[in-house]
Structure 1
Amino acid sequence: MAGNRGVVYQGAGRVEVQDIAYPEFELKDGPGVNPANVGRKVPHGVILKVVATNICGSDQHMVRGRTTAPEGLVLGHEITGEVVEKGSDVEFVEVGDLVSVPFNISCGRCRNCKERRTEICLNVNPDRPGSAYGYVDMGGWVGGQAEYALVPYADWNLLRFPDRDRAMEKILDLTMLSDIFPTGYHGCVTAGVGVGSSVYVAGAGPVGLAAAASAQLLGAAVVIVGDMKEERLAQARSFGCEAVNVAEGDPGEQIERILGSPVVDCAVDAVGFEAHGTGKDAEKEAPASVLNTAMALTRAGGSIGIPGLYVTGDPGASDEAAREGSLSIRLGLGWSKSHAFFTGQCPVMKYHRELMAAIMTDRVQIAKAVNAVAIPLEEAPEGYRSFDEGAASKYVLDPNGYLGTG
């Protein structure tokens, strides 16, 4: 049996690359594993040799200590890999297939899965609808920032790349299919982005940049990205977006200088619960700030897509209400403008095949848009530190040397 190494959460601000168990076709007890999932058989699963696995902003929330994630949790929900073993119930996926793994774990059998709501599968997480690899309160499925990873319900979950050689040529783009590209795209679709739209994207991290690229793919006339990190705003400008530094003042006034109007057709919140204020309050954490700004900026009758993460438990929040996910949202403003709000995880399977086609036909260069940078698995702690400091990069881990970093 092969060995295995993975990125392990060690408490607030710390991750380490450690020896971890090689996957088996059964869920074992461990940090974050729901007791009801211990011993669960996975004959419908496959074991992947991981080709690429990415550091995500959602991982960073845990690593900052802003969730109830237990120490010892193996991180990573953005996985692309090669099938090296298959369970006895796997019929269509074959050893040697190169595949993308949706970060949502879903069974394909429950009501929600059959209605294409794979982000809220009813059968994979005893705690609540919806599950993901290596994430707090998501059932305890081991994360994929590792050399090898287990994927359940493989025939259902996996997206196979039809041409291995062509896929490897675009692997930095294709690895974004596991999460941030569909997530950014979902934010835009739910916000109603279409041909000729004006779009405000809050946040120039990888999901925000993916949303901006998605808005362009959907035909937006102008995409405006807001952030307070100049390096990230420069990355947004590099592929044709307008940019506003929210630390320099009211985003609406800056947008008016760009559009001639302080409102946009659509808004996307790619920040989430660790939001800060704007202008003189930019250094202060204000978890409802982006949502309230989005309502102020979006025209009456417009929609707001919210792929940014909001949580039910935030031990690091600045006030008691926010520790339970209760935020001071100006719902009356949204109601008076007849806004539609769309929240929750992206149902990756709803979009990933079409987005794969867009990548393979050169309709979009998502790796360039998010500034994908491949690093060895052993450099994951440095990647987390750099990302936390606001680097305008999407770090892609290379556990087995497929990307040539070793």
Structure 2
Amino acid sequence: MPGNRAVVYKGPGRVAVETIDYPELVLKDGPGVNPLNVGRKCEHGVILRVVSTNICGSDQHMVRGRTTAPEGLVLGHEITGEVIEVGRDVEFIKKGDLVSVPFNIACGRCRNCKEGNTHICLNVNPDRPGSAYGYVDMGGWVGGQAEYVMVPYADFQLLKFPDKDQAMEKILDLTMLSDIFPTGYHGAYSAGVTTGSTVYVAGAGPVGLAAAHAAQLLGASVVIVGDLNPARLEQARSFGCETIDLSQHADVGEMIEQILGVPEVDCAVDCVGFEAHGHGRDHQEEPATVLNTIMQITRAGGRLGIPGLYVTGDPGAKDEEAKIGSLRIRIGLGWAKAHSFVTGQTPVMRYHRQLMNMILSGRAQIAKAVNATVIDLDDAPRGYADFDRGVARKFVLDPHGLVRKHHPERFLAFSQN
């Protein structure tokens, strides 16, 4: 039996690469596993050799200590892998298939799954609808920042790439299908972006950059990205976005007017979430800032996509209300302007096949947009630290060296950095 090295949360600000159990087709007890899920048999699942697995901003919230994640939790919900073992009840997925794993775990059998709402499956998390790999309060499914991982409900969930050689040539784009690309696309799509739209994207982290690229694919005439980080804004400009440096400018409407001639946009997307800061030179954490700003600068009758993460438990929040996810949102403003809001996890399966085709055809260039950067699994702690400092990169972990083999030009050896 091979070993299985994985990225493990060790407490606020710390992760480590440790050897964990090799996966089996059963959910065993461990850090974060819901007691009602312990012993759950998964003959409908597969074991994957992980080809690529990405560091996500949602992981970073946990590593910063801003959730109730337990120490010892195996991280990682952005997974692409090769099938090496199939369960007894798997009919259509075969050994050797190269697949993308939606970060939402979904049974395919409940009412929500049948309606396409795989982000709020009713059968995979005993505490509440919705689940994900390696994430706090999501049922305890073991994360995929590892060499090997178990994936349940394989026939329903997995997206098989049609040609393995072609897929490995495009792997830096395809690895984004498990979360970031569909999430950015969902934010733009649910905000109503269409031909000729003017769009404001709050946040130039990887999800914000993905949302900006998605808005371009959907036909936006102008995409404006706002952030406090100049390096990330430069990355947004690299593929044709307008930008606003929020560390220098507090009035977003005024800056939009300088770009568009009017102080409002048709659509807005919140890609920041609950660790938002205010704007201007003396900015501090103000978790409702982005939500209130996008209501201010979106035209009456406009729509707001909110893929940015908001939580019900934030032990690091600055006030007692925010610790339980209660924020000072100007809902009256949104009501007065007849805004529509779409929130929650992204139903990845609603988009991933179409986005795969966009990648394979060369239409979508998501790896370029987010500056995909390959690092060794052993360098995950450094990747988390650099990501936390705001580098303009999307780190792709390469547990078996397969991505580096195909894309040595995108590999970053930290010892040489």
- Give TM class, smaller chain: over 0.9
The one-letter code matched in structure 1 to 2:17 is V
Correspondence for 2:186? 186
Correspondence for 1:244? 244
Q: Equivalent pairs: percent with the same residue?
A: 74
SS at match of 2:26: coil
Correspondence for 2:270? 269
Correspondence for 1:57? 57
1:252 & 1:207 partners in 2: Cα distance? 22
2:378 & 2:356 partners in 1: Cα distance? 29
2:41 & 2:110 partners in 1: Cα distance? 18
2:30 & 2:282 partners in 1: Cα distance? 41
The correspondence of residues 187-206 of structure 1 with structure 2, limited to 5 A, is 187-206=187-206
1:300 & 1:278 partners in 2: Cα distance? 23
SS at match of 2:8: strand
Correspondence for 1:321? 321
Following TM superposition, where does structure 1 have runs of at least 4 consecutive aligned residues deviating by more than 3 angstroms?
A: none
The one-letter code matched in structure 2 to 1:133 is Y
**1:216-259 CA distances to partner (integer Å, 9 max, x unpaired)?**
00000000000010000000000000000111121111111000
1:188 & 1:232 partners in 2: Cα distance? 19
Correspondence for 2:75? 75
TM-score (norm 1): 0.99
**Post-superposition shift, 1:279?**
1.5
The one-letter code matched in structure 2 to 1:70 is P
Correspondence for 1:22? 22
Correspondence for 2:306? 306
The one-letter code matched in structure 2 to 1:74 is V
**Post-superposition shift, 1:281?**
4.3
**1:158-185 CA distances to partner (integer Å, 9 max, x unpaired)?**
0000011100000000000000000000
1:125 & 1:347 partners in 2: Cα distance? 16
2:277 & 2:257 partners in 1: Cα distance? 21
Is it true that 1:225 corresponds to 2:246 in the alignment? no
SS at match of 1:309: coil
TM-score (norm 2): 0.97
The one-letter code matched in structure 2 to 1:260 is G
1:141 & 1:274 partners in 2: Cα distance? 25
Correspondence for 1:235? 235
1:310 & 1:34 partners in 2: Cα distance? 21
Correspondence for 1:98? 98
2:175 & 2:155 partners in 1: Cα distance? 19
Correspondence for 2:256? 255
1:247 & 1:165 partners in 2: Cα distance? 44
1:403 & 1:304 partners in 2: Cα distance? 36
Correspondence for 2:340? 340
1:13 & 1:85 partners in 2: Cα distance? 35
1:281 & 1:190 partners in 2: Cα distance? 33
1:107 & 1:166 partners in 2: Cα distance? 29
Correspondence for 1:389? 389
SS at match of 2:382: helix
Correspondence for 1:208? 208
The one-letter code matched in structure 2 to 1:255 is I
The one-letter code matched in structure 1 to 2:320 is E
1:101 & 1:280 partners in 2: Cα distance? 41
1:280 & 1:178 partners in 2: Cα distance? 36
**1:280-320 CA distances to partner (integer Å, 9 max, x unpaired)?**
442x1000000000000000000000000000000000000
2:241 & 2:199 partners in 1: Cα distance? 10
Correspondence for 1:400? 400
SS at match of 2:232: helix
The one-letter code matched in structure 1 to 2:309 is L
SS at match of 1:254: helix
2:403 & 2:32 partners in 1: Cα distance? 30
Correspondence for 2:408? none
The one-letter code matched in structure 2 to 1:88 is R
1:286 & 1:161 partners in 2: Cα distance? 42
1:230 & 1:398 partners in 2: Cα distance? 28
SS at match of 2:396: strand
RMSD: 0.7
Flag structure 2 segments of 5+ consecutive residues without an equivalent: 405-410
Is it true that 1:358 corresponds to 2:351 in the alignment? no
1:73 & 1:212 partners in 2: Cα distance? 32
Correspondence for 2:141? 141
The one-letter code matched in structure 2 to 1:54 is N
The one-letter code matched in structure 2 to 1:259 is L
The one-letter code matched in structure 2 to 1:286 is E
**Post-superposition shift, 1:403?**
1.1
Correspondence for 1:152? 152
**1:134-163 CA distances to partner (integer Å, 9 max, x unpaired)?**
000000000000000000000001000001
Correspondence for 1:368? 368
SS at match of 1:32: coil
The one-letter code matched in structure 1 to 2:216 is Q
1:333 & 1:280 partners in 2: Cα distance? 26
SS at match of 1:333: helix
